[in-house]
A and B are shown apart, each in its own frame.
Chain A
Amino acid sequence: MTSRKLALVWKHKALYLIALPGIAYFIIFKYIPIMGSVIAFQDYNIFQGITGSAWVGLEQFERMFQYPEFLRILKNTLLINLYDIVFGFSAPIILALMLNEVRKMLAKRIIQTIVYMPHFLSWVIISGIFIGILSPSTGMVNHFLNLFGIDSIYFLGEDSFIRTIIVGSGMWRETGWSTIIYLAALAGINPQLYEAADIDGANRWQQTWKITLPTLMPTIMMLFLLQIGNFLDFGFERVDVFLNPFNRVNGEIFDTYIYEAGLLQNQYSYTTAIGIFKSVVGLILLVGANFVSRKTTGNSLY
C-alpha cells in the first residue's frame, strides 16, 4: 500500500515540485509566525530571541485582563464589529434585492457602476474624502446642516461620532461591491418559480419572502459565517486612518492598539497575547455559529 502510494507520488513528482514554493510561502509567512506566538508565554527580549527569553506562563494574559485599557479597547472592538455586522451586512442584501427589481438594463448598469466604485479606493483616500466632507468649516455635510440652521459639528474632533464614521465609511466603500455575489445568486433563480407563484396568486412580497430570500439563504449564511469568523479582526487600516487624539478613546480597536503598543512601544509579548486572544475568540465564534447554522438552517461552511 505505502509503496504504491510512494510510486504514485514519484510518478507525479513534478506536481509536488511545482507546489513547493507555494507551500514554503505558507510555512514561512503563516505557520512560523503562528508558532512564533509562543512569545506570548514569554517575557520576550529582542536581543535574546525566542530561545533565550524567559518563560512566564500566562502572566501576559493575566496582565491583559487586568488592564482597564484592555477592557475599553475590547468594548470598542466589540461595538464597532457589532454595528458593522448589523448595518454593513444587511445593507448589500437590501441593495441587491432593490437592484434586482430594476428592469431597465441601462439604468441598472449605471447604478451598479457607481455603487461599486468606492471599493477600489484605499482607506487613506477614503479617510481624506470623509475628513474633507465632514470638515466643520469647509465640508459639504456641515454646509448642508447650516442650511437648516444647525451649527457646524466637528465630527472627527470628538468621541461621539467616531464609531459611526468608521462603520459608515466602511458601508460607503463596500456595500455596492458586496451586492455582486447576491446579484449573481439572484440571477440564478429559475423565472418559472415566479411565474408559478404568480398563477397561484402570490404577490411580490410573498414571492420575495418565499422564493427570493430562501434562495439567497445559503449565500447569506456563508458570508455571515465568514464574517463571524473574523469578528475581532476588523482591520487596522480602516480604523487607523480616522483616529486622532480627540477620538481615540472610543475609536481604538485591537488592531490599532496592537500596532501602537506592540511595534511602536515594543511590548512584543503582551500584544501577541492579545493577538492570540483575538484569534481564539474568532475561532470559537466561527465554530459556534457554524454549529448553530447547521442545526437551524442546514447551511454550514464545513
Chain B
Amino acid sequence: MAIKESRARKAFLRTNMVVLILVSLIMILPFIHVLAQSFSSSGAIDQGKVSFLPVEFTLDNYSFVFQDGSIWRSFGVTIFITVFGTLFNLIATASLAYPLSRKELLGRKFLLFMVLFTMIFSAPLIPTFLVVQNLGLLNTVWALIFPTAISAFNLFVMRSFFMQIPQELIESSRMDGLGELRILFQIVLPLSKPAMATLGIFYAVFHWNTYFNALMFIEDRSLYPLQIKLREMIVDENFTSDPTSDFYTTMLSSSPEGIKMATIIVATVPILLIYPFLQRHFIKGFMLGSLKD
C-alpha cells in the first residue's frame, strides 16, 4: 500500500504515540516509586526525598520482611490453594463443559440456562456463608477451593473451545471403543491445551489474589492466605494485626513505609515473573474463547 501520509496524519500519529507513552508511564511509575522506596532508608522516605530512585540504598526493608515467619506461612497456604485449587477448577470445569458441548446431551439448553442464570442473579452473601458453614468448611483451606470450583464465564469459554473439536473425531474414537471419560481425557483435553492453559492462568491468578472468601471463611491466623496477611501488613497495621508479632512492634517503632513497599514488591514479583512468558499464550486463548460461538 503506497498511501501517502499527509502532514495531519503524521501529526496525529505523533500525538497518539505521546499520549500512549504517557498512559504507559501512568501504569508503570507507581511500580518504580514503590520499588525505589523499598530500597531506601526510612529516614530518606520520611523526609519525602524518594521518588523514582532509591535514596540511601539499603536492603534492611527486605531482610525485615523475610525474617517475619508468618508471611512465609501465608505464602505456603496461598501456593497450596493456587496449585490444588486450579487443578480442581480445571477438572470440574472441563467435566461439565464437555457434556454441555455435546449435542447428544438432552436438557443441554436447560442446564446452560441454569448456569447463565447464576451469572445474572448471584446468590446473596449470607445464605452462601451459611451453606459453607453447614458443610463444615469454615476455617479450612477447602472453603477457598470448593465454593469457587467453577466460574460460569470460564465454563462457557471452555465449552465453546470443545465445540470447535470436530465431531467426526469424537465419533471415530467411540467407534474405536473409547468410553466418554477416555475421550474427554485422551482426545478432547490434549487438543484443548491452549484453553486449559488460559483458563488455568485465570483460575491461578484468582486463587493467588483471593481475599474476600478468606476474609469470610478463615479466622484461624495460621491459615491466613497471602492477601489477608498483606492487608494486615500494608493497609492497616493496627486493625486486625496480631499485636504480639515482631512485625507489628517493629512497624510501630520504626518507619513502616519502606517495609510496606518491600512487602508489596515481594508479593508482586511471583505474578510478574510468570506474566511475560504467558502473556501471548493467554491472550490468544482468551480471544479464541470469547469470539467464537
Does B196 touch A at the CB level, under 8 Å?
A: no
Distance in angstroms between the alpha carbons of A159 and B215 in the assembled complex: 25
Within 8 A of A (CB), among B72-108: 92-93, 95-100, 102, 104-106
Chain B contacts for A14, CB-based, 8 A: 179-181
**Min CB distance, B58 to chain A, in Å?**
15
Report how far A67 CA is from B287 CA in the complex, Å.
Answer: 46
Is B264's beta carbon under 8 Å from chain A?
yes
CB within 8 A of B272: which of A30, A117, A241, A268?
A117
Q: Are B124 and A33 in contact (CB under 8 A)?
A: yes
Give the one of B26, B30, B212 with max A CB within 10 A. B30
A95 surroundings in chain B (CB, below 8 A): 23
Binary B-proximity of A24-36 (CB < 8 A = 1, otherwise 0): 0110111111111
Contacts of A224 in B (CB 8 A): none
Query: Are A262 and B126 CB-contacts (below 8 A) given A26-B114, A123-B209?
Result: yes
Among B44-52, B61-69, B161-169, B243-251, the stretch that binds chain A is B44-52
Q: Which residue of A lies closest to B28 (CB)?
A: A114
CB distance from A227 to the nearest CB of B (A): 12
Q: Does A79 contact B (CB under 8 A)?
A: no
* Interchain CB contact (< 8 A) of B267 among A103, A125, A139, A229: A125
Q: Is B20 an interface residue (CB 8 A)?
A: yes
Closest A residue to B119 by CB, please name it: A229
Contact in complex: B95, A19 (CB < 8 Å): yes
Q: Interface size for chain B: under 10, 10 to 19, 20 to 34, or 35 or more residues?
A: 35 or more
- CB-defined contacts of A99 to chain B, threshold 8 Å: 20
- Answer yes or no: A204 CB below 8 A from chain B CBs: yes
State whether the Cβ of B252 lies closer than 8 Å to any Cβ in chain A: no
User: Which residue of A36, A39, A114 contacts B24 across the interface (Cβ within 8 Å)?
Assistant: A114
Contact of A15 among B27, B105, B122, B231 (CB under 8 A): B105
Identify B205's interface contact among A117, A120, A229, CB under 8 A: A120
CB closest residue in chain B, given A38: B127
Check A140 against B29 for contact (C-beta < 8 Å).
Answer: yes
Residue in contact with B230 in the complex, picked from A101, A128, A282, CB distance below 8 Å = A128
User: Is B272 a contact partner of A125 (Cβ separation < 8 A)?
Assistant: no
Given A14-B180, A263-B216, check contact A195 B235 (CB 8 Å). Answer: no
Instruction: Give CA–CA (A124, B287) in the complex, Å.
Output: 28
A64 to B101: give the CA distance in the assembly, Å. Answer: 43
Kindly state whether residue A295 has any CB partner on chain B within 8 Å.
no
Interface residues of A, dominant DSSP: helix
Please name all residues of chain B whose beta carbon is closer than 8 Å to the beta carbon of A122 when the two chains form the complex. 208-209, 211, 227, 230, 267
* B115 and A26 form a contact (CB under 8 A): yes
Interface of B is mostly: helix
Q: Is the CB of B51 within 8 A of A124?
A: no
Query: What's the Cα separation between A204 and B101 when bound, in Å?
Result: 43
Pair B212/A236 contact, Cβ less than 8 Å: yes
Question: Looking at the complex, which one of B26, B105, B286 makes contact with A16 (CB distance below 8 Å)?
Answer: B105
Q: What is the minimal beta-carbon distance from A92 to any residue of chain B, in angstroms?
A: 11
Interface residues of B in 3-30 (CB under 8 A from A): 3, 9, 12-13, 16-17, 19-21, 23-24, 26-30
Q: Which of A21, A121, A123, A133 has the most CB of B within 10 A?
A: A121
Taking a contact as CB atoms under 8 Å apart, the answer to whether B118 and A30 are in contact is yes
A11 contacts which chain B residues (CB < 8 A)?
104
Most chain A beta-carbon contacts within 10 A, residue among B19, B23, B98, B184: B23
**Judging by beta carbons under 8 Å apart, are B126 and A39 in contact?**
yes
Asked if A206 lies at the interface with its beta carbon under 8 angstroms from chain B, I say: no
The interface bits of chain B over 261-279 (1 if a CB of A lies within 8 angstroms of the residue's CB, else 0) are: 1011001100110011001
A282 cross-chain contacts in B, Cβ below 8 A: 120-121
With A21-B92, A184-B290 as given contacts, are A262 and B279 in contact (CB-CB < 8 Å)? no
- Chain B residue nearest in CB terms to A13: B180
Interface centre among B28, B29, B124 (most CB of A within 10 A): B124
* A130 CB contacts on chain B under 8 angstroms: 30
Taking CB atoms, residues of chain A closer than 8 Å to B24 are 110-111, 114-115
Contacts of A103 in B (CB 8 A): 13
Residues of B within 8 A of A39 (CB): 126-127
Q: How far is the CA of A9 from the CA of B226 in the complex (A)?
A: 46
| Chain A residues with a Cβ under 8 A of chain B | 5, 8-9, 11-12, 14-16, 18-19, 21-23, 25-26, 28-37, 39-40, 95, 98-99, 101-103, 107, 110-111, 113-118, 120-125, 127-133, 135, 137-140, 142-143, 146, 172, 176, 180-181, 184-185, 188, 195, 198, 204, 229, 233, 236-237, 240-241, 244, 258-259, 262-263, 268, 271-272, 275-276, 279, 282-283, 286
Give 4 new A-B contacts, CB below 8 A, not counting A25-B96, A132-B261, A268-B126.
Answer: A26-B118, A121-B271, A272-B125, A276-B124
Contact surface of B with A, Cβ cutoff 8 Å:
1, 3, 9, 12-13, 16-17, 19-21, 23-24, 26-31, 33-34, 37, 45-46, 48, 50-52, 92-93, 95-100, 102, 104-106, 111, 114-115, 118, 120-131, 135, 146-147, 149-150, 155, 179-181, 184, 205, 208-209, 211-212, 215-216, 227, 230-231, 234-236, 257, 260-261, 263-264, 267-268, 271-272, 275-276, 279, 283, 286-287, 290-291
17 residue pairs of the A-B complex, CB under 8 angstroms, read A8-B104, A15-B180, A19-B99, A22-B97, A25-B96, A33-B130, A36-B127, A36-B128, A101-B16, A114-B27, A143-B51, A172-B30, A181-B287, A181-B290, A262-B125, A272-B126, A282-B121
